Chains A and B, each alone.
Chain A
């Protein structure tokens, strides 16, 4: 096939490379369809469905307030800060909209600093005030930046004009976090602001909401005794007493005994003391122990400690008590994609000698590491471009109790990214032996993209079954499934059944399917298919077909049966009878004929091309000229034996 011919067969990447025709007489054995990473078998990347954000209601947005230029400039900046903080609720973090909000924020803040210098704000429940001017107002409790700051106790915010961009974005991050999630008991805005350690942003804060001064409830000892129904001293237990003094302190400590710290350490040896500098490297090493990098191993270690306590018959801790923290740590490890740590935790759970009563719970815990949600997250954490499924993931899947195939099927149905689907397919292949029947059934019952994936899996597990299934469904299936089925068929044994399917696919709805089927028929030189191919051209008169399909059909006719093709083309160029002349005046057929003739060596073909060119319109004339060039090259190749 010449390179110019190959260009006619350029179907784009979607259809994959052209199949290599088998050597004459060879009967290729069905080969397993390779599972290509990153969806290489698929026509196109199935886009991750973007979140459909609720359209921001601009009418409900904050308005720029302020009466002076200073005020309005400050208001501009604060409104953009509020919008940017809320934007993470509405959009995915990498959305272009967020970029714009950040850009706006930078512009307005920098404009303010350049003109007016430091930004000193007093925070009120719904407002922010600059001097005596209100520069931010939003009374919507859900959206108001002022309210959120005020509620957490921020009373004053000062941003200096030389503040680095990083600090502004850190401030934004803190406000955004508070917008997106529920508050944990560890941090609020004030502690997060403190942690940020801003150099150019000052924050003054108080307790957000605080108990009122309890002046109305003065509880003296007599009243306490009366309430307790007791004439003696209080029991030292909980009682919510608010009175001050040592007595209440003792009560409030629940009576912790004086000897709470015995036995004390007993060291007999002493050494002289002196000031000794500590090596800088040692200090750096100490500091690094609490970095974020160390956190996963600390999580694993903590789980081990907890579970060992749970296994200890002396301890009253039940495995049940450990479940919430186990799940939290699991979710953390999942979100960070820390597969090896997850596996380590599972190994710990498996290895520890749990009490009899906890064995069932242990099984549930293990399941929690490999349930659908967990496994989905792990699968999604595999980076794009990876060529092999990580061994740890394979090992993890191997530990899943129960029906792993069903679990992976469920994941496949919900995954969108190509990488995640490829990983899931690979995992299904690894665990699917013996489940081919179920998987085949699932092919028929699933939506097209999933069905295509499953078909690939079945073929990988059992090539013959895959082939049969592909043949069964290829004609009536969705395009995605058809493409996958064709890929399987291409790599399998060719026989009459295949040929018949391919012939039917020449009428398929998708041009990609038609062209691929045609190519396969052509490869196998199925002479019985010649008429079908020709009829495809003739039936439509070339009207409904794109040029590339016209050309492909014509060339296929030549390759399948050159002599017959020549005869047919001549009939299209020089029709007999008026009816034929009318019918076959259609340009499409003539174009096809010219294309086909360009692939037939000899002067006669050239002559007919020229004949068409004489009466052709501009487009067809141009095509004729191109075909003549190709034909000439073909002639040269024939002459020199290529």
Chain B
């Protein structure tokens, strides 16, 4: 066979295997079901809304379609979990499967218009609905919208009726060309701040017992990975927005530090992507409520597992993420077996941030160098020794955030971590206090690789 034909043959075989894997993971039968049942779902909803123009809602005419919609929804829920119905321009999607309609005879695009009256572009149902609940939903959708705050009012109405499992989305549109595209040059800070809002949204949904949706998180993580290729430990290990709640800052810190460790370990970008998403969701269990109360810390890992397990569809990232959530506090030498790589990485990042993050009114539990030194003693016991070494190599003797008194009497804060092996103990710092105790007039960098030296690490309480 000619070499060129070899190329074709190899490509065909490789593609065949790739698609077979994708197919087996996605389940064609499921795909067909979603398309068929999703079509019924959208049509029935559209039909019910149309009927409200002709009949009062207590009319018997609604009986059958309501029951049918309940049945169809139940079926979709069984295979998909949360059912998302999204109207974008003149198209309707059910869980990202575009619903096909005979455009000559059906005007299903009018469904979008009906929802749009309430400034709604999509509806996500996280739980199956009973007939009474469906009637209430239809009633609410058929009602006159509240001027100025239609969607909020509608959502509140649903929540008050115990239907908080229904989530209303604003109108959608296709982002047009010319709008800002994702570029690797976007400032890290921009990406960080966007990460916060994406994580916010994700956790909000989880707190409301909705299905986790990792895709937007993954997109952000990919951008973080691109943006942090040349960013130092200082940037990654610093909190960039103190307005964020502690929990949010912790999530972002753990994610950034985990990516730093993963990169130092030489993990491929695709693996880093999965690691980053795992980092974003690692503590999801603490946002879970059981009978109205927060889950005890000891069970937050299994609570997170329960929550994230509800996401449907096989994906290797999901498997690794779930393992990470349940194992990320497990010691390296656990009798249950060595935790997975992601869990071991996040364990280090997680504990480090727990020990060193600023707590309102108290400061950090430990100074950064102290925390690192104590964690270092646990290499091989609590922590993976190699991963811990990689982490220590990046953070340096005086990790970012360390408050240091210098020989000159000045007080500085480390901002760089270890830039090179030679400067492991000589970070770049920002001047906080001159030797006479006064504040510097302007931002001043003190590079300990060139000048001065550390005489004391200041502990929490010294400051």
Residues of chain B having any CB pair with chain A under 8 Å: 4, 7-9, 11-28, 30-31, 34-35, 81, 86, 88, 91, 95-98, 100, 119, 121, 148-153, 155-156, 159, 164, 167-175, 177, 179-183, 200-201, 203-204, 207-208, 212-216, 218-219, 222, 243-248, 250, 265-271, 273-274, 283, 286-287, 289-290, 294, 297, 299, 302, 305-306, 309-320, 322-323, 326-327, 337, 340-342, 351, 354-355, 359-360, 365, 369-370, 372-378, 382, 386-387, 389-390, 392-393, 396-397, 418, 421, 424
- Evaluate whether A253 and B374 lie within 8 angstroms (CB atoms) in the complex, with A261-B250, A283-B265 already known: no
A85 to chain B, nearest CB (A): 10
CA distance A240 to B248 in the complex (A): 18
Q: What 5 pairs between A and B have smallest CB-CB spacing?
A: A93-B16, A335-B24, A254-B207, A181-B26, A267-B374
> Judging by beta carbons under 8 Å apart, are A286 and B244 in contact?
no
> Judging by beta carbons under 8 Å apart, are A238 and B270 in contact?
no
CB contact between B222 and one of A180, A191, A325 (< 8 Å): that residue: A191
- Evaluate whether A212 and B172 lie within 8 angstroms (CB atoms) in the complex, with A173-B15, A305-B323 already known: yes
Can you report 7 residue pairs joining A to B where beta carbons are below 8 Å apart?
A93-B15, A106-B4, A123-B177, A180-B22, A206-B182, A286-B266, A317-B302
**Residue with the highest number of chain A CB atoms closer than 10 Å, among B222, B319, B373:** B319
**Residue with the highest number of chain B CB atoms closer than 10 Å, among A125, A188, A249, A277:** A249
**Residue with the highest number of chain B CB atoms closer than 10 Å, among A125, A153, A184, A268:** A184
Residues of chain A having any CB pair with chain B under 8 Å: 88, 93-94, 98-99, 102-103, 106, 122-125, 141-142, 150-151, 153, 155-156, 165-166, 169, 172-173, 176-177, 180-188, 190-191, 194-195, 197, 204-212, 214, 216-219, 223-224, 227-228, 237-241, 246, 249-250, 252-254, 256-258, 260-265, 267-279, 282-283, 286-287, 289-290, 292, 295, 298-299, 301-302, 305-306, 309, 312, 314-317, 321-322, 324-325, 328-329, 331-332, 334-336
> Judging by beta carbons under 8 Å apart, are B151 and A332 in contact?
no
Which A residues are CB-close (under 8 A) to B316? 292, 295, 298
CA distance A533 to B325 in the complex (A): 80
CA distance A258 to B169 in the complex (A): 30
Which B residues are CB-close (under 8 A) to A328? 312-314
CA distance A298 to B305 in the complex (A): 15
Which A residues are CB-close (under 8 A) to B207? 237-238, 253-254
A136 to chain B, nearest CB (A): 15
CA distance A382 to B246 in the complex (A): 54
> Judging by beta carbons under 8 Å apart, are A182 and B26 in contact?
yes
> Judging by beta carbons under 8 Å apart, are B88 and A298 in contact?
no
A397 to chain B, nearest CB (A): 22
A368 to chain B, nearest CB (A): 14
- Evaluate whether A238 and B30 lie within 8 angstroms (CB atoms) in the complex, with A214-B170, A273-B397 already known: no
Which A residues are CB-close (under 8 A) to B309? 306, 321-322, 324-325
> Judging by beta carbons under 8 Å apart, are B319 and A302 in contact?
yes
CB contact between B12 and one of A99, A186, A194 (< 8 Å): that residue: A99
CB contact between A210 and one of B172, B377, B397 (< 8 Å): that residue: B172
CB contact between A93 and one of B19, B159, B164, B180 (< 8 Å): that residue: B19
CA distance A331 to B297 in the complex (A): 34
Which B residues are CB-close (under 8 A) to A211? 121, 169-172
CA distance A99 to B14 in the complex (A): 12
> Judging by beta carbons under 8 Å apart, are A253 and B247 in contact?
yes
B202 to chain A, nearest CB (A): 10
CA distance A505 to B4 in the complex (A): 54
Which A residues are CB-close (under 8 A) to B31? 181-182
A361 to chain B, nearest CB (A): 15
Which B residues are CB-close (under 8 A) to A94? 12-13, 16
> Judging by beta carbons under 8 Å apart, are A274 and B424 in contact?
yes
- Evaluate whether A191 and B174 lie within 8 angstroms (CB atoms) in the complex, with A184-B25, A185-B214, A252-B203 already known: no
**Residue with the highest number of chain B CB atoms closer than 10 Å, among A106, A183, A257:** A183
Which A residues are CB-close (under 8 A) to B315? 184, 186-187
Which B residues are CB-close (under 8 A) to A210? 172-175
> Judging by beta carbons under 8 Å apart, are A273 and B302 in contact?
no
**Residue with the highest number of chain A CB atoms closer than 10 Å, among B27, B98, B265, B355:** B265
Which A residues are CB-close (under 8 A) to B183? 204
> Judging by beta carbons under 8 Å apart, are A258 and B23 in contact?
no
CA distance A505 to B91 in the complex (A): 66
> Judging by beta carbons under 8 Å apart, are A315 and B299 in contact?
yes
> Judging by beta carbons under 8 Å apart, are B218 and A187 in contact?
yes
B25 to chain A, nearest CB (A): 6
> Judging by beta carbons under 8 Å apart, are A275 and B418 in contact?
yes
Which A residues are CB-close (under 8 A) to B269? 194-195, 197
> Judging by beta carbons under 8 Å apart, are A260 and B283 in contact?
yes
CA distance A98 to B374 in the complex (A): 60
> Judging by beta carbons under 8 Å apart, are A263 and B297 in contact?
yes
CA distance A210 to B91 in the complex (A): 14
> Judging by beta carbons under 8 Å apart, are B172 and A209 in contact?
yes
Which B residues are CB-close (under 8 A) to A208? 174-175
B220 to chain A, nearest CB (A): 11
> Judging by beta carbons under 8 Å apart, are A335 and B247 in contact?
no
Which B residues are CB-close (under 8 A) to A324? 81, 309-310, 312
> Judging by beta carbons under 8 Å apart, are B23 and A331 in contact?
no
> Judging by beta carbons under 8 Å apart, are A177 and B22 in contact?
yes
CB contact between A102 and one of B11, B377, B382, B396 (< 8 Å): that residue: B11
Which B residues are CB-close (under 8 A) to A124? 177
Which A residues are CB-close (under 8 A) to B289? 254
> Judging by beta carbons under 8 Å apart, are A240 and B340 in contact?
no
CB contact between B24 and one of A155, A228, A331 (< 8 Å): that residue: A331
CA distance A316 to B288 in the complex (A): 12
CB contact between A267 and one of B34, B151, B180, B377 (< 8 Å): that residue: B377
**Given A265-B351, A267-B374, A271-B377, 10 further pairs, Cβ under 8 A:** A93-B17, A142-B100, A180-B19, A185-B311, A197-B270, A206-B179, A239-B152, A275-B421, A276-B389, A314-B299
Which A residues are CB-close (under 8 A) to B378? 267
> Judging by beta carbons under 8 Å apart, are B173 and A206 in contact?
no
Which B residues are CB-close (under 8 A) to A268? 374
> Judging by beta carbons under 8 Å apart, are B19 and A186 in contact?
no
A146 to chain B, nearest CB (A): 12
Which A residues are CB-close (under 8 A) to B167? 240
A272 to chain B, nearest CB (A): 7
CA distance A153 to B177 in the complex (A): 9
> Judging by beta carbons under 8 Å apart, are B244 and A209 in contact?
no
> Judging by beta carbons under 8 Å apart, are A256 and B182 in contact?
no
> Judging by beta carbons under 8 Å apart, are A276 and B393 in contact?
yes
Instruction: Name which residue of chain B comes closest to A188, CB basis.
Output: B215
A517 to chain B, nearest CB (A): 45
CB contact between A316 and one of B152, B216, B306 (< 8 Å): that residue: B306
CA distance A260 to B17 in the complex (A): 45
> Judging by beta carbons under 8 Å apart, are A106 and B7 in contact?
yes
Which B residues are CB-close (under 8 A) to A309? 302, 305-306, 326
> Judging by beta carbons under 8 Å apart, are B214 and A186 in contact?
yes
> Judging by beta carbons under 8 Å apart, are A194 and B377 in contact?
no
Which A residues are CB-close (under 8 A) to B156? 227-228, 239
> Judging by beta carbons under 8 Å apart, are A286 and B283 in contact?
no
> Judging by beta carbons under 8 Å apart, are B313 and A186 in contact?
yes
Instruction: Name which residue of chain A comes closest to B98, CB basis.
Output: A141
**Residue with the highest number of chain A CB atoms closer than 10 Å, among B18, B171, B212, B373:** B18
> Judging by beta carbons under 8 Å apart, are A335 and B21 in contact?
yes
CA distance A211 to B289 in the complex (A): 29
A80 to chain B, nearest CB (A): 13
CA distance A240 to B318 in the complex (A): 27
**Residue with the highest number of chain B CB atoms closer than 10 Å, among A205, A276, A299:** A276
CA distance A264 to B213 in the complex (A): 29
